[in-house]
């Protein structure tokens, strides 16, 4: 088998996948490893993690995988070792994690200059059970590490069952959240439409309504500012000017606003004036006195 060609008759190899292995992989997340391949004009669809130092680049077709193999190998003249490994191109410094670049500049470490090897991936190159719990990469980069991009079709029994289990867990979590919301809503007391008044006079009115209840219509149908400005002020009884006269702006309003019925009622209340008797003369008074004295004799 040549360095960049897979034996079509050998069913143990995956014709569209390349395995990468080496210490630098332990320092890189999935996005940086995909960027490494793209940097050298290899364009994989995605990446599969095997362990902290091993991963598989999956390509769209065998032709694109062979092209990627040629771009990623360090020396085209190198012969593969007994396991089929070749030396891959090193990771560019621009893709190193920031702490590794700083350590390299300070001379505190070798950075990511460890040897990176590559070979055609086998069907047996899969992550073994329990590798996630033992992975230092997952502890450093989180549980989502290695899940970006393409997922190769795993064995039919395990992963499909896992996907169904994850979907079931999501649905169960949503159902439990809804049940908790309903439970909390039942315990929450109903809020009063308006806070109770602390004034006794507001509670002991004739219709047993509080001040807030009596003014609810005003709150529901508020009077606009224009209506309050243009509306005439209420008239007070005996409302006159400073000197008892009618105010200039109120002249003519008494006659216009007062209903005729009220004027007629006032006329009825006044008593009828009697004619004043005419003043008697002195002679008439003397005659009346004489008549009174003669009656007593």
Domains observed in the chain: 13-160 (3.30.70.330)
Q: Would the pLDDT of 149 be above 50? A: no
Q: How many residues belong to the chain?
A: 297
Q: Using pLDDT thresholds of 50, 70 and 90, give the confidence band for residue 114.
A: confident
3-class secondary-structure state, position 155: coil
Residue 47 has a pLDDT of: 95
Element (H, E) at 169: helix 158-187
Residue 9 has a pLDDT of: 56
Tokens in use for 201? 């006079």
Q: Would the pLDDT of 53 be above 80? A: yes
Residue 57 has a pLDDT of: 97
Residue 119 main-chain phi, psi, to 5 deg: -160, 170
Residue 59 has a pLDDT of: 97
Element (H, E) at 257: helix 253-257
Residue 1 has a pLDDT of: 43
Residue 140 has a pLDDT of: 64
Mean pLDDT of the residues in the chain: 72
Higher-pLDDT residue of 186 and 292 is 292
Higher-pLDDT residue of 297 and 28 is 28
Of 22, 33, 24, 85, residue with least CA distance to 58: 33
Q: Would the pLDDT of 101 be above 80? A: yes
Whether residue 51 contacts residue 25, with contact meaning beta carbons closer than 8 Å, is answered with no
Mind spelling out the 3-state secondary structure of 176-236? HHHHHHHHHHHHCCCCCCCCCCCCHHHHCCCCCCCHHHHCHHHHHCCCCHHHHHHCCCCCC
Q: Using pLDDT thresholds of 50, 70 and 90, give the confidence band for residue 152.
A: very low
Residue 154 has a pLDDT of: 44
Whether residue 145 contacts residue 30, with contact meaning beta carbons closer than 8 Å, is answered with yes
Residue 197 has a pLDDT of: 54
- When mean pLDDT is compared across 53-57, 118-122, 212-216, 268-272, the lowest value belongs to 268-272
Q: Would the pLDDT of 19 be above 90? A: yes
Higher-pLDDT residue of 155 and 8 is 8
Q: Using pLDDT thresholds of 50, 70 and 90, give the confidence band for residue 226.
A: low
Q: Would the pLDDT of 11 be above 80? A: no
Percent of the chain predicted with pLDDT > 90: 29
Residue 12 has a pLDDT of: 87
Report d(CA 157, CA 155) in Å as an integer. 6
Report d(CA 255, CA 259) in Å as an integer. 8
202 burial level (CB within 10 Å; 0-12, 13-18, 19+) = middle
Whether residue 95 contacts residue 36, with contact meaning beta carbons closer than 8 Å, is answered with yes
Q: What is the mean pLDDT of residues 153-179?
A: 59
Q: Would the pLDDT of 151 be above 50? A: no
Report d(CA 60, CA 79) in Å as an integer. 26
Higher-pLDDT residue of 281 and 121 is 121
Report d(CA 34, CA 40) in Å as an integer. 10
Residue 134 has a pLDDT of: 64
Q: How many CB atoms lie within 10 A of CB 80?
A: 17
Residue 148 has a pLDDT of: 47
Percent of the chain predicted with pLDDT > 70: 46
Residues 6+ apart with CB under 8 A from 194: 210, 212, 213, 216
Whether residue 144 contacts residue 43, with contact meaning beta carbons closer than 8 Å, is answered with no
Q: What is the dihedral of CA 190, 195, 198, 200, to 10 degrees?
A: -90
Residue 296 has a pLDDT of: 63
């Amino acid at each position: 088998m040549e360095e960049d060609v897979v034996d079509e008759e050998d069913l143990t190899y995956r014709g569209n996948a390349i395995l990468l292995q080496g210490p630098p992989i332990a320092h890189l997340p999935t996005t940086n490893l995909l960027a490494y391949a793209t940097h050298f004009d290899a364009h994989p669809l995605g990446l599969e993690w095997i362990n902290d130092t091993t991963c598989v680049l999956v390509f769209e077709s065998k032709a694109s995988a062979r092209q990627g193999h040629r771009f990623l190998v360090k020396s085209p003249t190198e012969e593969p070792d007994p396991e089929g490994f070749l030396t891959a191109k090193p990771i560019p410094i621009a893709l190193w994690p920031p702490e590794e670049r700083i350590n390299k500049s300070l001379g505190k470490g070798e950075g990511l200059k460890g040897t990176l090897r590559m070979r055609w991936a086998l069907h047996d190159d899969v992550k073994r059970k329990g590798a996630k719990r033992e992975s230092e990469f997952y502890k450093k980069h989180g549980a989502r590490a290695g899940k970006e991009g393409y997922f190769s079709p795993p064995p039919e029994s395990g992963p499909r069952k896992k996907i169904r289990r994850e979907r079931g867990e999501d649905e169960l979590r949503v159902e439990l959240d809804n049940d908790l919301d309903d439970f909390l809503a039942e315990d929450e007391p109903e809020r009063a439409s308006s806070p109770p008044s602390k004034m006794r006079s507001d509670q002991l009115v004739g219709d047993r309504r509080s001040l807030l209840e009596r003014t609810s219509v005003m709150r529901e149908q508020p009077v606009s500012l224009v209506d309050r400005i243009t509306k005439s002020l209420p008239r007070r009884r005996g409302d006159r000017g400073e000197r008892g006269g009618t105010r200039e702006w109120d002249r003519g309003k008494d006659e216009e606003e007062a209903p005729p019925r009220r004027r007629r009622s006032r006329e009825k209340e006044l008593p009828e004036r009697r004619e004043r008797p005419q003043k008697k003369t002195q002679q008439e008074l003397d005659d009346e006195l004489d008549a009174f004295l003669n009656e007593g004799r």
